[in-house]
Structure 1
Amino acid sequence: MTYKICCLRRDLKYGLFFISPSVVFFLLFWIMPVLLALYYSLTRWKVGRPGTFIGFKNYTNLLTDPQFHRSIQASLTITLLAVAGTMVLSLILAVLLNDEHLRGGRLMKTLIILPVVTDWVATGLVWQLIFLPHSGVLAGIFSFLGLRELMGLGWTATKSLAPFAIVIFIVWKTTGLYTIIFLAGLRSIPRQYTEAALVDGANAWQAFVNITLPLLRPITVFVLVTAFVNTMGLFEPVFMLTGGGPSDATRVLPIFLYETFFQFRNGGYASAAGVLFLVLCLGFALLSARSLQYSYYE
């Protein structure tokens, strides 16, 4: 008995030793910034100057700030469109790649994952060239198809088109990651279930909708929450393509935070906006986890 206790203590020490770097990293770079943001959000703090405590005044000002409201609206519009497009496209690609008889499956996986591992800034420069009016790649495609009236569209300079340009960029960049996650979920589902449904007379679509999708709900919830939070926090694609314009059409929350902190030097106001942004993301994650019932199988 004493020997077992000694072994358990030794294993506990080794376990604590190996996880301690991750715990320290998490505390320093996740928990501490959140606590500092909470503190500074309650102060009137200009960057480079000492702050003074003002309570919840920053929050009350934010809730009545029309620029903050427009930033939330722009963020939600781009995020919802991008998440919907990404989830649908990644699920379709995952279903195709799940076919054992698909030729070139490995090549397709490589091509799908390439945008994910490429830097946002580098790909942003490429998409700037793609969206150039008249001389861009997209304009060349329109010219080849005989749609010359569409060649001059200013995708990143038109208020109605700029959000869609960013959505296209985000969907292209992130679909590969969620495709791999969906593919892992599909391959963890026993094939006996769908095979039994096919034997009972169901077609492939009925088996997918009534068997595969319900069993895929845990993965779907994970992808939904991850895609929503990641897309809401994206700064690079918006900054690279539009910079928040035109006419604040793409001035999302990260751009609002960046301008408030670095341009206007209003650290307290930016911290309060960051805290509200965190609350929004956490609220969505909790609602998604509670509203979608999980399905498990043995």
Structure 2
Amino acid sequence: MQPMIGVIGGSGVYQIDGLEGASWVKVKTPWGKPSDQVLVGRLNGLPMAFLPRHGRGHVETPSSINYRANIDALKRLGCTDLVAVSAVGSLREDFAPGDFVLVDQYIDRTFARENSFFGPGCVAHVSLAHPTCRHLSAVCAEAARLAGAQVHEGATYLAMEGPQFSTRAESLMYRQWGADVIGMTGMPEAKLAREAELCYASVAMVTDYDCWHEGHDAVDVQQVIATLVANSGRAKRLVTALPGLVASDRAACPQGCDHALSHAVMTAPDLRDAELLTKLDAVAGCVLR
């Protein structure tokens, strides 16, 4: 099976350069409209798809993003691996603005988002002990180094609702909790990718020190944008490096991301809701047939 990489671009990353045969395609999903059309093509022979998380022109807030539609659309197009790029604030002195961080854990503080494809009529519980794919994350770390970035592997991402930034008291509390970076879009994206049996890696680009840091007690949007612009070039080079690091034949994920639903569905087959099963055709059809 040939892999197909889906890239979800966050703030400052709205396109991929160099895709062969590139075209924007509209994908219909049973969960509503994705953030935008999806750019599909090939990069050095590897099929790829790109979806701007906030839409081109940054029109969706962290809370208004239709995360379920985004993940469904990429799975429906044939993606096997998802690389999520996002802007974050740093909660650690040694994670400086401009650094790239490979996230491996989350603290989910969001509350206004649909966070599962499953529900009444088809109940499922997937494991999130290790919410990102170790293998794909290692590939992304190597690609980031090839792109010239300072890279940190392994970090806990505090997902906040937003759209406002943290208070200083909150920022200090999150540091005490052991969070390393803070952002607004990491959840429920990672949860949904796991439910869709997709390998998922989170590349977090540090833009600021949030407001815990003396001398950085107010997050300045202009400062964030300036760092985003500097990071966007490295992020694009990271994506360009991925095809050379991904095997042309996709083996089973050693972590089991690609069969996360094998023992997750709890509802008896004869009691499953037919309408919900129809909506799950792309995400979980292979398990529910």
Q: TM-score, normalised by structure 2?
A: 0.28
Q: Which has the higher contact order (CA 8 A, sep 6+)?
A: 1
Choose between structure 1 and 2: higher helix proportion.
1
The higher radius of gyration belongs to: 1
Q: TM-score, normalised by structure 1?
A: 0.28
Choose between structure 1 and 2: higher strand proportion.
2
